[in-house]
Homo-oligomer: A and B are copies of this chain.
């Protein structure tokens, strides 16, 4: 495995490396960890990377690795840069025949997303988009329960993603390096809140239910005069028929840490899950006691049980969720059998970009319905 981005101080790159080690199907052997070559080299050294494989640019990496014999060459590259670089780097790497693990949002525009989708199809490569929350066992169990029809007719869907960390930046009580690029349209794209976190909630809905959102209507807020992107918003959802729903996302909910939740309500039963307590899945019904599903039990489906060996009651966390996605991608790269729900794909990336752009456009046009 190689990595683009994720150098000194980048928490998401660290998470990717840990996850790749947990699942034990990868070895980090090279990369471009930082646009600053000195910092890049310093970081590579700290990770024990062969200095020859610490490249100055993505092009250099492609060239360098191509020059190696296939059995020593990087097979898969993880892209964990700011959003604006996802597309050009992914495009180059796909063209050069590398499998990819890519952070979300996948691109800056819908066209870029569609273009990547085309490249992946043409090159027959594996492309795993790290909507990390789909790696949690209980999210996977949720998908399984719904796919079996145990909820009856789905009647309402409600997802939330509330954080508060941007408060310290916009209100000036703290200055965090990781926060800066997300508020810059050139690096982050058309949206902050919806692009960074709202899209996770959107993905979680489509992942767990297997349904597609058909139309959205949004109302966004930048919260302060000097902020150029949305930091907060509500998105109404329509799925066709009577089914409606809502996504609520915000980066200014002071004290919320990483509050992504999903509830899917059906005519027979309902399911609720919250990321901060990821090992609990609640199944509600009008006539039976609520049932609480947990990992490492025989009552769960295979997809939920694929990633752990510890008995029940030994909590798994975010790193294990990401490792489950890495594991699925590894199976795909090796040509082994795998469940398509084991990792989000470039198509999820296309859906996400359509969502982000529709949400921004709906808000800009005065809160009207937009198809996605």
Contact = CB atoms under 8 A, between A and B. Distances in A.
Interface of A: 11, 14-15, 17-18, 21-22, 24, 151-152, 155-156, 158, 160, 162-165, 167-168, 171, 173, 217, 219, 221-224, 232-234, 236, 238, 242-246, 248, 250, 252-259, 263, 265-270, 275-279, 283-294, 296-299, 309-320, 367, 369
9 closest A-B pairs by CB: A255-B284, A257-B313, A258-B313, A317-B317, A21-B21, A289-B291, A315-B317, A257-B312, A290-B292
Contacts of A319: 22, 316-317, 319-320
8 contacts: A21-B24, A219-B238, A223-B242, A254-B267, A256-B265, A258-B312, A276-B315, A317-B319
B294 A269 contact: no
Given A21-B24, A155-B253, A309 B11 contact: yes
B294 A292 contact: no
A135 to B, nearest CB: 12
Contacts of A314: 15, 257-258, 317-318
Contacts of A296: 257
A362 to B, nearest CB: 11
A interface: dominant SS: loop
A74 B267 CA distance: 46
Count of identical protomers in the assembly: 4
Contacts of A233: 244
A125 to B, nearest CB: 24
A234 B242 contact: no
Most buried by B among A173, A286, A298: A286
Nearest to A291: B289
Contact of A255 (B269, B310, B316): B269
A236 B278 CA distance: 29
Contacts of A293: 289
Given A254-B268, A270-B255, A313-B163, A289 B292 contact: yes
Contact of A250 (B152, B265, B267, B309): B265
A122 to B, nearest CB: 33
Nearest to A132: B314
B286 A167 contact: yes
A244 B232 contact: yes
Contacts of A369: 367
A223 B160 CA distance: 22
Contacts of A294: 257, 289-290
A276 B292 CA distance: 14
Contact of A221 (B160, B244, B290, B318): B244
Given A257-B313, A287-B297, A292-B292, 13 more contacts: A156-B250, A164-B270, A221-B243, A232-B244, A234-B244, A234-B246, A254-B268, A255-B269, A277-B315, A290-B291, A310-B318, A317-B317, A367-B369
